[in-house]
Structure 1
Amino acid sequence: MIVLKTSRELQFMREAGRVSSRALKLAGKMVEPGVSTWEIDRAARRYIEEQGAKPTFLGYGGFPASACISVNDVVIHGIPHKGTIIRQGDIVSIDIGATFEGFVGDNAWTFPCGKVSPEAQALMDATRESLFEGIKAATAGNRIGDIGSAVQRYTEARGYSVVRDFVGHGVGAKMHEDPSVPNYGTPGRGVRLLPGMTIAIEPMINQGVKEVKTLADGWTTVTADGKLSAHFEHSIAITPDGPVILTLPD
């Protein structure tokens, strides 16, 4: 069931989005050689709790941390560890959620560690831009397929693959609500977008094949061919005047 948000609920979601986006910005600044993903997770959790919010991911479905931190060929759901040390040239995808007054802000970004290869930079650039292509398509009256088609067209035209096993989603009082928001699709197909809908658009784009595999821990998901993956996400609201990004730091 799709839940349309009231103006008051959207205010709570904006605040949750601000907290989660600031936590993400803090985490991104820590992406430096020699820093562990565990240290980044601890800092993000501390910041979220200091703002009077809760780390949405912590304990969600049994997830043991406050942020998913995915390095290089890890697509999503990387578990922070003291032994996972970031190195020069890595690309690090960080996904963070914060819950404020019962509503969720969910966002992700892929950060370079120092100077990365031209190929890694191109993948990050294309994935980031595909997110904004998807957001531009998220106008009232359009359909979910218009969003996915925009992401897919942009990235596949540049030789990349769109992950099919994981998709975006509705977001609100729960982190995952209806509808599903795939990063691929057919224009004019799927659920119609209505004012009051809130969704998380999150392209997960691979340098090589689209197939992924989940490791023995049940969470960490990597590219099937060991090539790089990038992940960018914003939570947005559908309004009569166009899409509004809820996960902005200011």
Structure 2
Amino acid sequence: MTIRKAAVAGQFYPGSAEEIKAMLSHFNKVLEEHVQRPELLQTKTRAVIVPHAGYIYSGFTANVAHRLLGNSGVKRVAVIGPSHRVYLAGTSVSDYDLYETPLGDIPVDRVLAQELMGKFALGFVPEAHHEHSTEVQMPFIKTYLPEARVVELVYGDESPGNLAPVIEWLLKDPDTGVVISTDLSHYYDIEKAKALDSICLDAVSKLDPRELQRGCEACGKIGVEAMLIAAKNLGLEPVLLDYRTSADASGDTSQVVGYMSAAFV
């Protein structure tokens, strides 16, 4: 039995189940106290965009989306994120049996993984899967969809036009959810960051992939563009959930990273 061992537990997110549960409980308490539209928390969605920084910076933003994804009750989740560590041509599908998290192992949907490989000619590049952009999503999935299986897709030098049909095919199954992982701009001052990030936010809110090319600097822009294409083709509507920067946690406005979450309904 092959296990995708947790690579960034204790770094990007807590290494113990108790700490993760406490952190997510805190996020939900703050969310429930400050949400402007309480009915939003009842939203059911099977497709979300989430950030992937350390939980102290972007965990609140990601948690909102994962909580809504949990409302859907899907049986499997495809987590799609960019490769940060290794060069990768195309997209790799994880072909493990289990995905390790501090909250317990998550079974990998091997049947779905094999279907993706066969239908879309995707491979399995093991070294590409020591990837934080996808791993940080797994404790959220284990929390909000404890019975779900997962499939991890990591892309590198890929075309949104190639990835969009994969997302569409996944979402045509009512028991499947999709998580698109991305952060926004990196290491600009707060004013510049917000200006660049507003381009990304506008593109998502308008379902306009072309808008992304006007200055959006999301590290997972390929996945976001593919999601927008798929959402348009499937008749889904975007809902922006949260936007903030690392300055909200650190107080440092000189070099910030931007984070957003969105749902498609």
Task: Judging by fraction of residues, say which structure has more strand.
Answer: 1
Task: Judging by fraction of residues, say which structure has more helix.
Answer: 2
Query: TM-score normalised to the size of structure 1?
Result: 0.31
